[in-house]
Every structure is written in C-alpha cells, then in structure tokens.
Amino acid sequence: MKNVNLNTMPTLGRHIGKLVPTKKGEYFVDGCNKNNKHYREITIACSNSETLTVQLYDGFMATFFSQIWRQTHGATGGMKDSEVFEYLANHEFDVWVDINEEYSWPQYSFQEPRK
C-alpha cells in the first residue's frame, strides 16, 4: 500500500449521517476533476461527529440512487434527483468507508460491503 496520511482520512467502516446543504441551500455542488469528469460533491454529517465529503461521478449516480433506494426500503423510488437529496437531508442513511489501496484514497459505498 502507498503511504496514507491517516490524519486526513475518515474513520474506516460504517457511518450513519444526513446530507448537509450548502450555505446557498443546495444539496450538492457541481464540479469537474482534472480529466474533465463531472461529479456532484455532497457533504454528510455523521453521528460520530465526522464530516464526509463525497464526490459522486456521473457514472456512479445510477448505482448511488439504487443503493439509497435499497437502504430506504423503496421510500425514494420514483423521486426526482433533487427530491432524493432533500430526503437524505432529513433522514439518516448509511455510508461505508474503505480505502482504495491503488490510489490511497477513501472509497465510499452506500451498501454494506460483502464479507
């Protein structure tokens, strides 16, 4: 594994939190990485007092909504994207944090990892 600065890493494992809106009241911030790939950056306030900043790339959005749908037992089914984000700001949901050994960067999942 590459050198990992654990001081800036979130705690690995399961987190429970809610989506935090920006100062403008938006639930995500649009962004592009250096390879011009679009993402939505969300901030999650966890019950263990940690704050997670997650970048959801366009190719992952369908998976994200599917995983959230499973977590909410179908409550987010049929909602628009904006409605799902609003729902997540008002209801707790699970996030699992692991480390990507290739890039030494946190990986976020919205479903429990297989053992």
Q: Are 76 and 85 in contact (CB under 8 A)?
A: no
Residues in the chain: 115
The pLDDT mean for the chain works out to: 89
Can you list the alpha helix ranges (DSSP code H) found in the chain? 61-71, 81-90
Say whether 91 sits in a helix, a strand or coil: coil
Tokens of 58: 């366009």
Q: What pLDDT, on a 0 to 100 scale, did the predictor assign at position 5?
A: 45
The stretch 63-84 carries a mean pLDDT of: 94
pTM given for the model: 0.85
Tokens of 107: 């990986």
**Biggest CA pair distance of the chain:** 43
